[in-house]
Structure 1
Amino acid sequence: MHAIRGWFRDTTGGLPTTFWYLWTGTLINRLGSFVLVFLAIYLTQERGFSAAQAGLVLGAWGVGGAVGTTAGGTLSDRWGRRPTLFTAHLGAATMMLALGFARDLWTVAAGALLLGLFAEAARPAYGAMMIDVVPERDRLRAFSLNYWAVNLGFACAAVLAGFAAQAGYLLLFVVNAATTLITALIIFVKVRETRTVVVGMPRGGAPSGALRTILNDRVYLGFVALNLLGALVFLQHISMLPIAMADSGLSPATYGSVIALNGVMIVAGQLFVPRLIKGRSRSHVLALAAVVTGVGFGLTAFADVAWFYGLTVLIWTLGEMLHSPSNATLIAELSPAELRGRYQGVFSLSWQLAGAAAPILGGLVREQAGNATLWFGCAAIGLVMAVGHLLSGPARERRAVALRTVGAAAVLTTQSTAPQPAAPKAAEPVATSQG
């Protein structure tokens, strides 16, 4: 028992209060995140859309998200993290309801696009705020705790949504909107602005030439490109996997239970991962994660019953668990402080591009080349990613060290140029007894 208490203290202790407010908001929001989990099934079974049309709608979500993350990254650097988060959550809650009442294809697609825009605009601001408030030494466990909350909510939502859908799909949209609104209220009431002005940064935001700086950062863009490949694979679990399971004669509730294994496994084991990978080469961890994830998705080609689908989910979830904390800490270390929101936005953009492309490409490959080709292709991408991480890892670590050095120098400069308190006047001599 003493060992368990010590582990819990080492895992959760000493983190800033703002982190825990953000963590709580994330958990509440994810507990109601029904819509994206079941959107493909909703579109094909409730609205009667084809797999290609469903892919088009999910792609519209991704396009909106691409615009949202770009705008969210810029706004979080210029306007501030807090107002960007609050506005994005309010807009997402509103559009969630609007999408629930939409009926024809183009109205649904437009609603998905706007929902993606607002929902994903929050990501860069959230990521930048997390880096702002959590010291570098604590980020690995902080990101693991946050990821744990995301998946605890996801696991519960996936199971509950399967039963809620039987009562009516509109309920999914209403609950999702309500939890998003609660998160917005937590941010408004409890979270303060965390953006700070760095030496050399103008008052309005990041220095001029920010976009050029990012576009010239080949190390970071290479890392983003690898993440794009991984996202194209990973997002098949919410686009083509539910359709594949439906073709195997499995119900939406079964899909909800199977995909919930992802969250259950992460909830059960994610908090132990930081100790497992601490001190190990991040490039090697990311390469291993890519291989395991690829194998898990590749085995889906052979699945035709619920337990087999569940086994594939458990395998690629293990890869996800290894990938997430190393990935998050690396993003933080590769982001210059004055461009933190924009760098987070560019990284999030890779997910949104994948969100637009994954369902469309997945649907086309599945219809034109067959189900097995789609999943074998996912396995091949995993191997390509592993090689990419091993080759690019040393350059990333050198860049991280260089940015830490620059950051430390900026802190010293700020301290040396800060107004110093006036020197106290010399004290009057005090007569003492000579005894």
Structure 2
Amino acid sequence: MKKIIQLYIKSYSGLSREAWLLAVVMLINRTGSMVIPFLSMYMSSALGFTKPQVGIVLGCFGLGSVCGSWLGGWLTDKFGNFMVQAVSLLLTVPIFLLLPHFTTFESLAGMIFLLTLIADTFRPANSVSVARYAKPENLTKAYSLNRMAVNLGFSIGPALGGFLATFSYDWIFYGNALAAVSAAVVFILFFRASKPRTVTRPLIKSDKQLTATDRNAYLDTPFIIFNIFCCLFSMAFFQLLSTLPLFYKEAMLMSEGQIGLLLGFSGFCIVVFEMLLVHAVEHRFTARQVMIFGTGIAGVAYLMLNVSAGIAWLYLAMFILSIGEMLTLPFTATISASRATLNTQGAYMGFNSLAFAAANIFSPYLGTYTAEHFGYQTLWYVTALLMLISCLGFAWILKKM
């Protein structure tokens, strides 16, 4: 136990005060992450939407996320990361409060698009903040700390959301609003007068990066290909937030409370193990090796869902999926930030966020359509296949990068 505690301390060493404060803001904000994992069940159970309608609304969620990620990157380079993050947090509050009053398919789709358009401008701005406040040698650790805060919030949010859903789904939206306004207040108080401690320099050096000209993220061919495989990975991985809750409810006959605990278990695993895991692998293996292994075992986790072996088996599959996530997502952010220059960090982080967001346009509809017409078993085979393609794709493009 003493060695584990010492390893934790070593894992977190070297991170700046601002990096910790950004993680606190993210923790508060993501503690309210109740809407996303229960949105598909809310539409199916409370509103009576069909699976294709559920998929389309979740696709609007993804479309708003794409637009918000691009807009957030552009606004960050133009107005700075502080302004974008503060405004994004504040503007989401009234939308969460109004959402329970929009119960038709068309109106809810529009409101979900607007919500994610505004909320996801926060993501590239926050990623730039992490890069600006972290030392270059601690960049992966800083992103992992931020992700740990996200997942600690995500471990609390679904469990709390499952509890609130037993009374009314409306309370989930109100809980999200409270978390957003709390995060905004804390962020503004701590960061309104803060200045970046360091200038982030590229970690992956090449002849092009050593020139004085800033590259255009959207014309950087290797980075474009890398983001395509990030998109394919996220199309598979984020079934976690769309069809997987429906699978638990319809195929496994689990209650909202049980589903909330199982989804929260994912966040709990990441909180406990991610920093230790990243610290253990980042200096022993290349980002390419880590991401190949991470995507591979994530595919295995989805294949496990086709084996019916009780709730303990579902928890084991979720644990393995969480390991895959821990070995993949922190390094996508690190690679994106490392390839950028100081003047293009917003664009690079925005493009990478856009790659993940783009998957959410197609992934929910394709997932729900596959489940509706071919069954969940086929869905998990297809999901595992996408993971395999992503694995091979990362192996190829990261070797070139």
Match of 1:230 among 225, 228, 233: 233
Where 1:18 maps in the other structure, the secondary structure is helix
In the other structure, the counterpart of 2:218 is: 215
In the other structure, the counterpart of 1:322 is: 327
Report whether the alignment pairs 1:385 with 2:366.
no
Distance 1:197 1:141 in 2: 16
1:214 deviates by 2.2
Distance 2:124 2:16 in 1: 19
Report whether the alignment pairs 1:353 with 2:336.
no
Report whether the alignment pairs 1:258 with 2:251.
no
Distance 1:180 1:16 in 2: 24
In the other structure, the counterpart of 1:429 is: none
TM-score normalised over the length of structure 1: 0.84
1:194 deviates by 4.2
Pick closer, same or farther for the CA change 1:4–1:235 going to 2, 3 Å. closer
Distance 2:227 2:316 in 1: 29
Report whether the alignment pairs 1:104 with 2:139.
no
Note the alpha carbon deviations across 1:363-391, whole angstroms, 9 max, x for none. 11222222211110111111111111111
In the other structure, the counterpart of 1:405 is: none
1:14 deviates by 3.1
1:3 deviates by 4.2
Q: Is the 8 A contact 1:242 1:255 kept in 2?
A: yes
Note the alpha carbon deviations across 1:38-73, whole angstroms, 9 max, x for none. 111111111111111111111111111111111110
In the other structure, the counterpart of 1:268 is: 272
In the other structure, the counterpart of 2:44 is: 44
1:356 deviates by 1.4
Distance 1:339 1:315 in 2: 35
Distance 2:216 2:150 in 1: 32
What is the count of residue pairs matched by the alignment? Answer: 386
Highest relative contact order (Cα 8 Å, sep 6+), 1 or 2?
2
1:306 deviates by 2.7
Where 2:216 maps in the other structure, the secondary structure is helix
Where 1:235 maps in the other structure, the secondary structure is helix
Distance 2:258 2:305 in 1: 16
1:351 deviates by 1.7
Q: Say which is worse superposed, 37-46 or 319-328, in terms of deviation.
A: 319-328
Pick closer, same or farther for the CA change 1:162–1:92 going to 2, 3 Å. same
Q: Is the 8 A contact 2:73 2:346 kept in 1?
A: yes
- Give the residue type in structure 1 aligned to 2:243: M
Match of 1:365 among 361, 367, 370: 370
In the other structure, the counterpart of 1:169 is: 169
Distance 2:249 2:7 in 1: 42
Report whether the alignment pairs 1:239 with 2:220.
no
1:9 deviates by 3.3
- Give the residue type in structure 1 aligned to 2:87: T
In the other structure, the counterpart of 1:66 is: 66
Q: Identity percentage over the alignment?
A: 28
Distance 2:389 2:14 in 1: 39
Q: Is the 8 A contact 1:60 1:112 kept in 2?
A: yes
| Higher gyration radius (CA) | 1
Pick closer, same or farther for the CA change 1:319–1:2 going to 2, 3 Å. closer
- Give the residue type in structure 2 aligned to 1:96: F
- Give the residue type in structure 2 aligned to 1:142: A
Note the alpha carbon deviations across 1:122-164, whole angstroms, 9 max, x for none. 0000001110110111112222222111111111111111111
Pick closer, same or farther for the CA change 1:195–1:58 going to 2, 3 Å. farther
Pick closer, same or farther for the CA change 1:6–1:253 going to 2, 3 Å. closer
Q: Is the 8 A contact 2:218 2:351 kept in 1?
A: no
- Give the residue type in structure 2 aligned to 1:312: A
Distance 1:366 1:6 in 2: 46
Note the alpha carbon deviations across 1:299-325, whole angstroms, 9 max, x for none. 222347433322221121111111133
Q: Is the 8 A contact 1:258 1:306 kept in 2?
A: no
- Give the residue type in structure 2 aligned to 1:219: P
- Give the residue type in structure 2 aligned to 1:89: L
Q: Say which is worse superposed, 179-188 or 4-13, in terms of deviation.
A: 4-13
Q: Is the 8 A contact 1:93 1:181 kept in 2?
A: yes
Pick closer, same or farther for the CA change 1:8–1:240 going to 2, 3 Å. closer
Pick closer, same or farther for the CA change 1:101–1:195 going to 2, 3 Å. farther
- Give the residue type in structure 1 aligned to 2:286: S
Distance 1:188 1:264 in 2: 28
After superposition, the CA RMSD in angstroms is: 2.1
1:108 deviates by 0.9
